[in-house]
Structure formats: C-alpha cells, structure tokens
A and B are shown apart, each in its own frame.
Chain A
Amino acid sequence: MRDARGRNTAPEPAANGAVAAALLACGVGCCALGALAVAGDGSKRIASILNFYNPTGPLAGVTTVAIAIWLVAWSILAVRWRGKQVAFAKVSTAAFVLLALGLLLTFPPIGDTLLGR
C-alpha cells in the first residue's frame, strides 16, 4: 500500500519472536526428552545420575531435566526475541525437526538400534 507521495504505508507485521521462541523451545525440550531417555537406557551411570526419586527411577530425572531444558530455553529465547521479527520458516523447521527427533527417540526400537542392541 502506498500513500500520495509513493511511500510504502503497508502495516508492519506483528512481531513473531515470542511465538517462535515458544515453538523452538518446545522442540528443544522434546528432543532433550528423547535424548535423555536413550542415554538413561544405554548407560547405568547416566541412569543412576537421573535417578532423582527412587520409586520412579531414572524417569524422574529424564523428565525433570527435559522440562528444565525446555523452560530455560524458552526463557532465554523469549528474552532474546521479544518484540522482534524472526525468520519464522527457519525457526519452525528447526522446531519440527527437533520435535520429530524427540518423538522418534522415545520409541524403544529406535533407541535400542542406536544403542546397538
């Protein structure tokens, strides 16, 4: 849209940084969950480190650490991208790749294959 002097008066798009931050952080959290699940399954040492609450076993640590990573990533990205317009296509592609990795890594046969079982 242009005014009488030919200047571009099209409205500025709303900042998408906050949504991009939430999306990418969620992908990071999901991928961390899958990676930690495989790591805990493959190493007794990591499993014992992740055993935050004995009745639940390593699952407590896997999920607590994954949630912490998700929330920390969300906080950092939200601060960095607040009020900014980011390349949403690139960010959402990265978020979907991380989400897909997270979903795949939680599937036991894939984890077992990675661990050489």
Chain B
Amino acid sequence: MGVTTREFVTLLHGMLFGGFFLMALFGAFVLLLDWSNARQCELRASAPPPIPAWQKVYFAALVVCGWAAVLTGAYIIYPWYRAAVPAGADMVLYPKALLTANPNTAGWHSLGMEWKEHVAWIAPMAATMVAWVMTKHRAAWNESCQVRKAVMGFAAAALLAAAIAGGWGAMIDKAAPVEGGREIQLMRAAR
C-alpha cells in the first residue's frame, strides 16, 4: 500500500491544510455567532475580559492553514496539474491536458479549475482580516453591532470561497488525479 509523492503532497494540500482550514473556518463562524449576542457584548464592552490564549492559537492556526492551502496549491500542485504534455508522454500524468482533451470532461477545467484557482485566495484574505479583528480589536466587536455584522459577513464569504475551492478541488481530483513521482510505501503487503 503506497502513494506517490504527488498524491501525498495533494493530500497535504487538500486534506490537511484545506480540510483543517474549512473545518476551523466553520468552527470560527459558529464561535462568532455565539459571541455576537448583543446583551453579552454589552456586558463585555463595559468590562472587557482578556482574550483567552486558546482563541489566539485557534485563529493563528486557521490563518496558517488557509495560506498553506493556497500556497501549496498554486506553487506545488498547480504546476503539476497544468504542465505541458511532452510528445508521446502518458496523458494520465497531465490532468489539465487529460481533462481538456475530451469535451465531456473539459468543464472540470474550464469552469471548475478556472474558478477554484482564483476564488480560493479570497478565503485566507478574509479569514486573516477576521482573525486580526477578533484577536486585536475585540473591543470594537463587543461595542458595535455594525462591526459584528460586517466581520460575520466576511467570515461567511471566506467560508463560501473555501467551500467552493475545496469542493471543486475534490471533484477535479476524482476526474483527473494528480499522479506521479516516487512511490512512498505506507504499508508492506501482507504475506
């Protein structure tokens, strides 16, 4: 049982960074909903409690996972995905060429990948802003309903962008997986 290096890096990108980012973003959105209670915010505004360390770590991990997902995607996996096919090469190792060669699968690239590769970047940008406000400017959050609504709106947009990118990424990788590279043995075959 094994995976190739390209499959392994794709796993890190999608399942570790992307998956954790999406889950953490959903968790952050639920936390924001809980913290947006106007009565509790009023109480916290008059006597602001210190921000717990776990919340700072949580938001930092959220931001790191988001940027790691888009950077590994754009600078490691995307070059493998879009590489030009040398004459006589196995098309399976060139997912973009494989998808666009057939009109029935071209949409995975022309709509899916073209959308995913750009919209994905909105998620870490918005998540960074949300994390920064929640760790550095909690007083403004507690004090203003407008701030709470605006920050939650951007958190929702980040979640939407991450879900679009993650969803298309998973489907494209099923249609034309990024493969190749050295084989990494995870487990020896049973005798």
Contacts and interface: CB of A to CB of B under 8 A. Distances in A.
Interface string A1-42: 000000000000111101100110110011001100100010
B75 A37 contact: no
B170 interface: no
A16 B83 contact: no
A102 B157 CA distance: 11
A92 B150 contact: yes
Given A19-B137, A33-B122, A56 B74 contact: yes
Interface stretch (B7-15, B110-118, B176-184): B110-118
Contacts of B149: 92
A66 B114 contact: no
Nearest to A95: B150
A103 B79 contact: no
A67 to B, nearest CB: 7
B135 to A, nearest CB: 12
Nearest to A110: B115
Contact of B119 (A16, A25, A55, A106): A106
B75 A53 contact: yes
B125 A106 contact: no
Interface residues of B, number: 39
A19 B147 contact: yes
Nearest to B113: A108
Contact of A88 (B125, B144, B161): B144
A62 interface: yes
Interface stretch (B19-27, B36-44, B50-58, B126-134): B126-134
A99 interface: yes
Interface in B131-181: 132-133, 136-137, 139-141, 143-144, 146-147, 149-151, 153-154, 157, 160-161
Contacts of B141: 19
Most buried by A among B119, B129, B141: B129
A59 interface: yes
A30 to B, nearest CB: 5
Contact of A16 (B117, B136, B140, B154): B140
A101 to B, nearest CB: 11
B21 to A, nearest CB: 16
Contact of B121 (A15, A57, A66): A66
A23 B129 contact: yes
